[in-house]
Amino acid sequence: MSIVQYPIALNVLSETSLLPVNNRMSNLELFMEVMIALITIIIMAQLLGRAMKLLGQPAVVGEMISGVLLGPTLFGSLFPETSTYLFPEHIMPVLFVVSNLGLSIYMFLVGAELDLSLFSKKTLKDASALSAAAVIVPFILGGAAAVLFDEQINGMHIDPFSMAIFLGTALAITAFPMLARILQENNMVNTRIGALSLLSASIQDVISWCLLGLVTVMCTTQDYSSVLTMIAGAAVLIAVMFLVVKPLLNRVAKKVHAFEDLPTSHFGLVFILLLICALVTDSLGLYSVFGGFIIGLALPRGTFYVKAISMRLKDLTVVALLPVFFAFSGLNTDMRQLVGLDLIVPTLVILLFAFASKYFSCMFTMRWFSKFSWRDSSAIGGLINARGLMELIIANIGLSYGLIDSGLYAMLVLVAITSTLAAMPIYSLSQPKRGRK
């Protein structure tokens, strides 16, 4: 499934590999063009990230928006020749590899730095209830929207039932990587609200990817065994990481009390395991982000071990690699599709359904089931409502499989941006003292 998320990049890759040797650009020319693109991406991400922080938003929101602005939505429309020069098609496969590698490493860091002591039985119980509410209600409203506006949004004329599952899945997703960045930037990962929100987001995304696998199977191969393979494969990977790999790594972890105590060879082993987990989950259809997160969670705790590994990876990943992921998705996004007048009502309704289904269902669940305060419940609802680029990934999958047209694709992009922009303002209003701090 993940291989066709970016058909443009892979088509270019296959085409360039078939060119005669004399017609291919030299490796040095390719290197220079990729460097120009990376410099542009990092500068834009830094500038907009700083600007968004001045506005009270996390820098990661600015990085996401910078990717969209670099694409055909703005820069590509106003300066098409310059855009083509900065981001020629033949470098897209390189950006694809860098972007997915950066995201996998970042989610590895998130998993590694997560304080597992916060995941008590009550936290797991609360996260399960929160995940159920955050998936079921949006899924139902998304399906209802698909039925109500089938004529306007089902431009590819797929089976209405499949469209209902797809749109329901799109509204049920939570931006697991985006939420992780928001929580890390605000030092909230290891708070009660942060840990609960992140754990619930990971559960929601796994469920959503399974549903997405189901709808793609329904519309393409009709091979339902692949969905069972996806679920079983993920369970086996988790078991191997925690029951086999973690005890082996623990032997070295006990000896690490300072940065220089971590052997370079052992760091190389951990990095190889990271790549293997990302490859396995990607091949299962769960996306490489979960492979990185799983191996991060499986790292032994209790010593300087996790800190020593994070210190070698974190700054480069956050500054240079992760913005490429945002930019690559933004380069394939054209917000100008929203100008069609016939899509105004469906767009407004889907936006309303997307916001209300996540925010209110999570808030009421936390208040009535988990006995959180109204302020904490509202804060969690705002954080869980963020969909970010996970929504864009789902939209790209739908477009590449021929499940949706450009109109619905643009709607999902708008849902991704607005829901993510609303996350921290809702949190700050719900937690005024923490927001001011």
Question: In the structure encoding, which two tokens stand for residue 301, read together?
Answer: 């705790």
Over 70: is that where the pLDDT of 353 sits?
yes
Its pTM stands at: 0.77
pLDDT at 21 (0 to 100): 45
Residue 433's pLDDT band (boundaries 50, 70, 90)? Answer: low
| 50 and 130, same domain (yes or no) | no
CA distance 357 to 54: 30
What is the domain extent for residue 51? 2-94
Radius of gyration of the chain (CA): 21
39 and 84 both lie in a single domain: yes
Q: Are residues 25 and 143 in the same domain?
A: no
Q: What is the pLDDT of residue 384?
A: 92
Q: Which of 117-121, 148-152, 327-331 has the lowest mean pLDDT?
A: 117-121
Residues 353 and 249 in one domain: yes
The domain boundary residue, chosen from 94, 122, 153: 94
Total of domains in the chain: 2
Burial readout 254-264 (b: 16 or more C-beta within 10 A, e: otherwise): eebeeeeebee
Q: Do 131 and 175 fall into the same domain?
A: yes
- Count CB-CB contacts under 10 A for residue 294: 27
For the record, the structure tokens of 231 come out as 């679920």
Counts of helices then strands in the chain (DSSP H, E)? 22, 0
The CATH code of the domain that includes 256 is: 1.20.1530.20
The answer to which of 5-19, 89-103, 147-161, 294-308 has the lowest mean pLDDT is: 5-19
Q: What is the 3-state secondary structure (H, E, C) of 140-171?
A: HHHHHHHHHCHHHHCCCCCCHHHHHHHHHHHH
Residues 175, 320, single domain; the answer is: yes
Confidence tier at 9 by pLDDT (50, 70, 90): very low
Q: Which two tokens stand for residue 139?
A: 């899924």
Of the three residues 94, 118, 142, the one that is the final residue of a domain is 94
Per-residue pLDDT reduced to its tens digit, 115-136: 666 667 777 888 889 999 999 9
Claim to verify: residue 82 and residue 192 sit in the same structural domain: no
Domain boundary among 35, 66, 94: 94
Same domain, yes or no: 177 and 274 = yes
| Residue from 119, 111, 116, 115 nearest 295 by CA | 111
